[in-house]
Amino acid sequence: MAEIRIEHLRKEFGAFSAVEDSSFVVRDGEFLALLGPSGCGKTTTLRMIAGLELPTSGKIFLAGGDVTFNRARERDIAFVFQLFALYPHMNVRKNIGFPLLAQGIAKAEIRARVEETARLLQIDHILDRSVSGLAGGDRQRVALGRAIVRRPKCFLMDEPLGTLDTEFRDLMVRELRELHNRIHATTVYVTHDQLEAMAMADKIAVMNHGVIEQFGTPQEIYNRPATMFVADFIGSPPMNFLRFTAGLQRGARTVSVEGVPVAVPEIHDDVAMGEIALGVRPEDIRFSDASPLRGVVYGSEYHGTNQIVAVEMAKGLIKARVPADQNFRIGDTVGLELNHHNLSLFECTSGRAVRSSRHTQVQHG
Ligand code: ATP
């Protein structure tokens, strides 16, 4: 297996810039999710790594070698678009072995590698069955088998679970991660679904308008978002923003929100007067009668183990995740206590996180 290194990769289509100055490393055996909304440049990035699209500028290294101008078939990469595309007239064995047959590999070796792959995917008992009669999960495993039987240096997957219903999708998310734990293949996986990315990936690159806004572990991205876009894109419900106008001083440990002093992690930047957003995750808000930060309950959604409560503040709605047995009525005034260890601050004009004792390790794109 192999490391993928991307350096200052750009792709322009005429005057339109689809990918802007992307740099990142996927270490040997790591699973990277390229995550972002439709049109942000995920597929274009993946196609450049695969050799299906030439970059406008920048470099791509695979296992230490510069492959920027190599053809797709010279890169030893398996590109999985759609895991259900099987040959319906062939049985499981022939479907899995097909890429090896196409490479002219000897029959005995094909047989051995197909059987080894089938054992890995736990489908060795159905090798001689026709694929047309298989259930969805087994079809998907056959398609995966066809990708891994070649033992490529890495896997590139473009929304492979895109068309599946939720239940089956959750099952395949678990299976893909388990497969990854067994074969440790360097993988780049494109998705617009934050839950898929969080559940499967070792690292996530969050993209927006062709730019990688943040590259980090799921924990870093969730807990220390580098930008307001990342904070808003990750999490369900997303991070709340309490906006206020202020200048911030290095060393400060409180800010004033809606006229109430709120403790925050120590600020490490001086920020000129302007609009600031205090970012707080719904689970970091607690109802407390003693808190002077107050709002009015607007509505709630019951989720069994907890409830999401919308609270109207002076400058808009925020959502709190509170215990399911907490009692209140719509229209009640509640006090809100914020978990000051987990708060983020953002400059609204640039959207960037203000550095603080919590954010010092954040990388910007
Ligand atoms: P989606 O999930 O919708 O495919 P994406 O993040 O994968 O989104 P890309 O497919 O990489 O996005 O496309 C990024 C932008 O580049 C889009 O605005 C798209 O319209 C544009 N684009 C992609 N390929 C081409 C092309 N061959 N010519 C012109 N524009 C293109």
* Residue 361 pLDDT: 47
* Residue 301 pLDDT: 93
Decide if 133 is inside a domain: yes
Bridge partners of 345, per DSSP, are 278
Decide if 64 is inside a domain: yes
Same domain, 71 and 213: yes
pLDDT band at 156 (very low <50, low <70, confident <90, very high): very high
Distance, CA 17 to ligand 1 centroid (Å)? Answer: 10
Amino acid at 362: V
Paired tokens of 113: 């590698």
Decide if 141 is inside a domain: yes
Same domain, 255 and 204: no
Same domain, 185 and 250: no
Distance, CA 39 to ligand 1 centroid (Å)? Answer: 5
Choose among 80, 219, 91: nearest CA to 154: 80
Choose the weakest-confidence range: 66-75, 92-101, 161-170, 352-361. 161-170
Peptide bond into 37 cis (omega under 30): no
Going by DSSP bridges, is the β-strand pair 203-208/31-35 parallel, antiparallel, or unpaired?
Answer: parallel
Q: Candidates 43, 193, 194, 206: which one to mutate for ligand 1, based on the most atoms within 8 Å of Cβ?
A: 43
Examine the fold and report which residue of 205, 223, 241 is the final residue of a domain before the chain moves on. 223
Residue identifier of the C-alpha nearest atom 3 of ligand 1: 38
Against a cut of 0.85, is the pTM above it? yes
Report how many domains make up the chain.
2
Q: How confident is the model over 268-284, as pLDDT tens digits?
A: 999 999 999 999 999 99
Paired tokens of 145: 């088998």
Q: Is 335 a residue whose pLDDT tops 90?
A: yes
Q: Is 363 a residue whose pLDDT tops 80?
A: no
Amino acid at 24: F
With contact defined as beta carbons under 8 Å apart, do 278 and 242 qualify? yes
Distance of CA 157 to the CA centre of its chain: 13
Choose among 145, 144, 123: nearest CA to 134: 123
Residue 290: how many other CB atoms lie within 10 Å: 6
Which CATH number goes with the domain that contains 15?
3.40.50.300
Rounded to an integer, the average pLDDT of 37-50 is: 96
Same domain, 147 and 236: no
Task: Tell which wins on pLDDT, 85 or 199.
Answer: 199
Choose the weakest-confidence range: 6-10, 58-62, 152-156, 207-211. 152-156
Same domain, 200 and 305: no
Q: Candidates 42, 47, 196: which one to mutate for ligand 1, based on the most atoms within 8 Å of Cβ?
A: 42
Same domain, 269 and 195: no
With contact defined as beta carbons under 8 Å apart, do 197 and 159 qualify? no
Distance of CA 114 to the CA centre of its chain: 32
Choose among 176, 125, 190: nearest CA to 148: 176
Q: How confident is the model over 204-256, as pLDDT tens digits?
A: 999 999 999 999 999 999 999 999 999 999 999 999 999 999 999 999 999 99
Mean pLDDT, the chain, integer: 91
Same domain, 212 and 253: no
Same domain, 26 and 147: yes
Task: State the Cα–Cα distance between residues 192 and 314, nearest whole angstrom.
Answer: 33
* Residue 365 pLDDT: 38
Distance, CA 19 to ligand 1 centroid (Å)? Answer: 9
Examine the fold and report which residue of 223, 244, 265 is the final residue of a domain before the chain moves on. 223
* Residue 287 pLDDT: 95
Task: State the Cα–Cα distance between residues 197 and 143, nearest whole angstrom.
Answer: 21
Closest atom of ligand 1 relative to the 159 alpha carbon: 2
Q: How confident is the model over 206-217, as pLDDT tens digits?
A: 999 999 999 999
Task: Tell which wins on pLDDT, 135 or 309.
Answer: 309
Q: How confident is the model over 62-116, as pLDDT tens digits?
A: 999 999 999 988 888 888 765 567 889 999 999 999 989 988 999 999 999 999 9
pLDDT band at 182 (very low <50, low <70, confident <90, very high): confident
H or E segment to which residue 60 belongs: strand 57-62
* Owning domain of residue 281: 228-347
Residue identifier of the C-alpha nearest atom 5 of ligand 1: 39
* Residue 280 pLDDT: 97
Same domain, 87 and 129: yes
Same domain, 242 and 113: no
Decide if 363 is inside a domain: no
* Residue 169 pLDDT: 79
Task: State the Cα–Cα distance between residues 288 and 337, nearest whole angstrom.
Answer: 6
Choose the weakest-confidence range: 104-118, 145-159, 287-301. 145-159
Choose among 288, 265, 289: nearest CA to 278: 265
Same domain, 208 and 235: no
pLDDT band at 159 (very low <50, low <70, confident <90, very high): confident
Decide if 259 is inside a domain: yes
Decide if 360 is inside a domain: no
* Residue 84 pLDDT: 60
Task: State the Cα–Cα distance between residues 362 and 225, nearest whole angstrom.
Answer: 8
- Residue 61, Cβ density class (10 Å: 0-12 exposed, 13-18 middle, ≥19 buried): middle
Around ligand 1, the residues with Cβ closer than 6 Å are: 13, 16, 18, 36, 38-44, 192
Task: State the Cα–Cα distance between residues 254 and 270, nearest whole angstrom.
Answer: 14
Task: State the Cα–Cα distance between residues 327 and 240, nearest whole angstrom.
Answer: 22
Distance, CA 42 to ligand 1 centroid (Å)? Answer: 8
Decide if 109 is inside a domain: yes
Same domain, 212 and 261: no
Q: Is 358 a residue whose pLDDT tops 90?
A: no
Decide if 183 is inside a domain: yes
Examine the fold and report which residue of 223, 255, 289 is the final residue of a domain before the chain moves on. 223
Which CATH number goes with the domain that contains 304?
2.40.50.140
Closest atom of ligand 1 relative to the 192 alpha carbon: 2
* Residue 166 pLDDT: 76
Rounded to an integer, the average pLDDT of 330-359 is: 94
